Amino acid sequence: MKNNRVLLGMSGGVDSSVSALLLKNQGYEVVGITMLLCYGEDEEAIKDAKKICEKLNIEHYVYDLQKEFKENVIDDFIKKYESCLTPNPCIKCNKYMKFGYMYKKAKELNCEYIATGHYARVEYSKEYNRYVIKKSNVGKKDQTYVLYSIPSDLLSHIIFPLSEFSSKDEIRKIAQENGLITANKPDSQEICFVPNNDYVTFLERHNIQGMKYGKIVNINGEVLGKHKGLHRYTIGQRRGMGISSSTPLYVLKLNKEKNELIVGKEEELYTDTVYANETNCILFDNFKDKMEVQAKVRYSAEPKDAIIYLNKDNTLTVKFKEKVRAVTPGQAIVFYIGDILVGGGMIFTK
């Protein structure tokens, strides 16, 4: 028999603060958890989370998960860049930390549910006879893109308290009306463990492999200049290469074997074929061959019509009806049917 105890991830921000308030008002027995992932920057967040929990009279626990976070998220981030991939660490964090270790802690604390301040919806679908993740109502702030890696069997234990809101302003207004100290707190930076979002300096401090100068070439192999290390560049980048041309040039590919930065015209950035591995299907037990979906190749992209083809090695080939721009190895390709999240995978090149 299910209980009504819910373990809520408390980041010390306005989203999780309002989530705690909403859950309590809905009759849940709320338990707050703050995961210490990066020492230093988390101290203020922990203080704010504790104050919110004290105000709402709910339990609060702090767990030091720096070791687990480093092993599962930071080390993977560095390894991907060493392989000339451009990763999205939030996806790994959601899989291993927020819906991995956190669910493990929930069971230890006798909590039936876990909750986070993500902008997404979980509901039971009669059509698919299972729990599904749906896009939220907040448009560009929808976060389903970074949730595709969650195990499907967890969905019946997940609550997204902010699922029905249509703007961040509504969340802040609720916080202000209820005297929550986080009401006007700025949104957190994109990558929590990278100071000032300066990933280049972060990688160089960790002395990653492959930080060598090399050639900048076009698709015909003609040398146009020198690059300062492939970790500094990503697909679609135009500025910061230190080369001049009569037509704008963009990064097309990072060639790790030759340590070359390959550049070309904008029209050469477009493709209708994308390959994916490290896949996870939420809507079905497995991906289906020739499945028609809408797919997006980056967080901010609009979903485009595509067909998924299954390969013998369990990777996916995705054919878009219209070409998509700047497909980036290491980023996620995520699939939808309407507003329902199907699943996704990591983009790679053949």
Is 32 in the same domain as 65?
yes
Listing DSSP states for 338-349 in one string gives TTEEEEEEEEE-
Q: Whose structure tokens read 């308290």? A: 161
Is 88 in the same domain as 183?
yes
Residue 43: its H or E element? helix 42-56
93 is known as an active-site residue: yes
Is 186 in the same domain as 54?
yes
- The active-site residue out of 53, 84, 93, 111 is 93
Number of C-alpha atoms within 13 angstroms, CB side, residue 127?
6
In total, how many domains does the chain have? 3
Nearest-angstrom CA–CA distance, 87 and 90: 9
CATH of the domain at 227: 2.30.30.280
Domain boundary among 219, 238, 264: 264
Is 185 in the same domain as 91?
yes
Q: pLDDT tens digits for the chain (350 residues)?
A: 578 999 999 989 999 999 999 999 999 999 999 999 886 656 788 999 999 999 999 999 999 999 999 999 999 999 999 999 999 999 999 999 999 999 999 999 999 999 999 999 999 999 999 999 999 988 778 999 999 999 999 999 999 999 989 888 999 999 999 999 999 988 876 788 888 889 999 999 998 877 899 999 999 999 999 999 999 999 999 988 989 888 999 999 999 999 999 999 999 999 999 999 999 999 999 999 999 999 999 998 999 999 999 999 999 999 999 999 999 999 999 999 999 999 999 999 98
Nearest-angstrom CA–CA distance, 307 and 272: 11
Is 47 in the same domain as 165?
yes
> What is the pTM assigned to this prediction?
0.94
Q: Are 8 and 160 in contact (CB under 8 A)?
A: no
Domain boundary among 222, 241, 264: 264
Residue 239 domain-assigned (yes or no): yes
Residue 205 domain-assigned (yes or no): no
Q: Are 131 and 156 in contact (CB under 8 A)?
A: yes
Is 14 in the same domain as 57?
yes
Residue 145 domain-assigned (yes or no): no
Is 95 in the same domain as 244?
no
Q: Are 238 and 248 in contact (CB under 8 A)?
A: yes
Nearest-angstrom CA–CA distance, 321 and 324: 9
- The active-site residue out of 84, 90, 111, 192 is 192
Is 101 in the same domain as 60?
yes
192 is known as an active-site residue: yes
CATH of the domain at 293: 2.40.30.10
Q: What range defines the domain where residue 301 resides?
A: 270-348
Is 74 in the same domain as 179?
yes
